[in-house]
Structure 1
Amino acid sequence: MPDTTLLLLADGRFPAGGHAHSGGLEAAVTAGRVRDLDGLAGFLRGRLATAGLVSAAFAAAACRGDDLGRLEAELDARTPSPALRKASRAQGRALLRTGRALWTLSTVERELHHPVALGVVAAAAGLTPAEAALTAAYGTVTGPASAAVRLLGLDPYATHALVARLAADCDSVAARATTMDDLPACSAPLLDIGAEAHATWEVRLFAS
């Protein structure tokens, strides 16, 4: 049962709003930093090593039962972009709403960042912190990869082959996230800058 639950939570069709977010890829494509499959590969690896590691560690900590208020404050400090904080909490709201419909969640009175909400939902679903971390790491690359098919017109087979090649990297990031003594604070300044620019656009395909 936990294996199936893990697949359910990591499924891109899980109704938690992830399809509406590109993970910063739309801004990177518009800025000309990502133009093709090779560029996408570099973007995904960079995102996984920075935002992915942070997300995985916070999801694991929330799943483990760490204090949510502290986690929220710590993640705020690691998210200097107001646009990214807004997007993270929007995804967190959607995830908690879906989680409440599927499992019994402990009462959560406040809005949560997406990685923290993911940990809360994972715990309610009976998953381990390691599984929560893996789900977060995996989502870090699958969201932008799916967006790339729409933004760049990439071959979906080639795009998913790229995601498959990143499987070992996702495993490594998840393992590292659950064995670190302190919560990581990896930064990705271009994602922050891109998010602020993206938030000002009148026409865009994705919310972030």
Structure 2
Amino acid sequence: MDLVALMLADSRFPGGGHVHSGGLEEAAARRLVVDEASLRSFLVGRLRTAGALAAVFAAVAAAQDGYAELDAELDARTPSPAQRAASRTQGRGVARAATRAWPSARLEGLLRATPRPHHPIVVGVLVADPFEAAQTVAYHAVTGPATGAIRLLGLDPFGVNAVLAGLAPEIDAVAGHARDHAGTPPADLPAPSAPGLDLLAEAHDRHHAEEVRLFAS
């Protein structure tokens, strides 16, 4: 794994990902996640749906240059306005940091095509290798909620990290499937859905406007 991918996967990278729980805050508030077992189920579900979708678009962004079309196709596959906003907020945060760390013609081209790009597309442009780009965003799909579980539920950090470690084969499988689509036209990319996550995101967005919440999503 190259240094760019490692830095983007690091929670200390100043891209703003630490304020997003990937729906975990709302799930915890509804008692859908209460312990390590239910956390694992939540993470697997998120990885196989929202994570798989993000991984495919990261892989394609690493291999292709049609950024405006790619961004529009990911928008169309993200029916929740709250989910779209969270992805674009994180994408813009990563892009801002990346313009200082890794300025390039590809990044400039992306930001000309779409000034507030989706997070997976920025990652794909920066990492360039389809598998590693997909692996990075698949990893992000589970680490945000996992960190949220520690902060919101007080779960044992060692146990939560053991859950994450156990997901390594699943993450690599998602990344491998995404890499297989690196040459697929954007309009023909798969669209795994996650209605439950969409509903949690919309509920969290509504509650976030009504009361103080720890995470933005």
Q: Using structure 1 for the length normalisation, give the TM-score.
A: 0.94
- The alignment status of 1:193 with 2:194, answered yes or no, reads no
3-state SS in 1 of match to 2:143? helix
Distance 1:38 1:156 in 2: 14
Q: Is the 8 A contact 1:60 1:130 kept in 2?
A: yes
- In structure 2, what is the equivalent of residue 10 of structure 1? 9
Paired amino acid for 2:158: Y
- The alignment status of 1:135 with 2:105, answered yes or no, reads no
- In structure 2, what is the equivalent of residue 119 of structure 1? 124
- The alignment status of 1:178 with 2:179, answered yes or no, reads yes
- TM alignment of 1:14-163, pairs within 5 A: 14-106=13-105, 107=108, 108-109=111-112, 110-123=115-128, 128-163=129-164
Q: Deviations over 1:131-181 (max 9, x none)?
A: 101101111111111111011100000000110000111001000111135
**Displacement over 4 Å in runs of 4+:** none
- In structure 2, what is the equivalent of residue 206 of structure 1? 215
Q: Is the 8 A contact 1:55 1:133 kept in 2?
A: yes
Q: CA deviation at 1:73?
A: 1.2
- In structure 1, what is the equivalent of residue 166 of structure 2? 165
Q: CA deviation at 1:5?
A: 3.0
Paired amino acid for 1:185: A
Distance 1:81 1:5 in 2: 30
Q: Is the 8 A contact 2:4 2:126 kept in 1?
A: no
Distance 2:30 2:7 in 1: 34
Distance 1:37 1:56 in 2: 25
Q: CA deviation at 1:130?
A: 1.1
3-state SS in 2 of match to 1:138? helix
- More off after superposition, 196-205 vs 165-174: 196-205
How many residue pairs match? The answer is 203
Distance 2:133 2:121 in 1: 10
Q: Percent identity?
A: 54
Paired amino acid for 1:116: I
Paired amino acid for 2:215: F
Q: CA distance change for structure 1 residues 100 and 68 in 2, over 3 Å: closer, same or farther?
A: same
Distance 2:179 2:130 in 1: 7
- More off after superposition, 6-15 vs 50-59: 6-15
Q: Using structure 2 for the length normalisation, give the TM-score.
A: 0.90
Distance 1:40 1:10 in 2: 20
Distance 2:55 2:135 in 1: 7
Q: Deviations over 1:13-44 (max 9, x none)?
A: 11101100001111111122111110000000
Distance 2:104 2:197 in 1: 32
Distance 1:24 1:204 in 2: 12
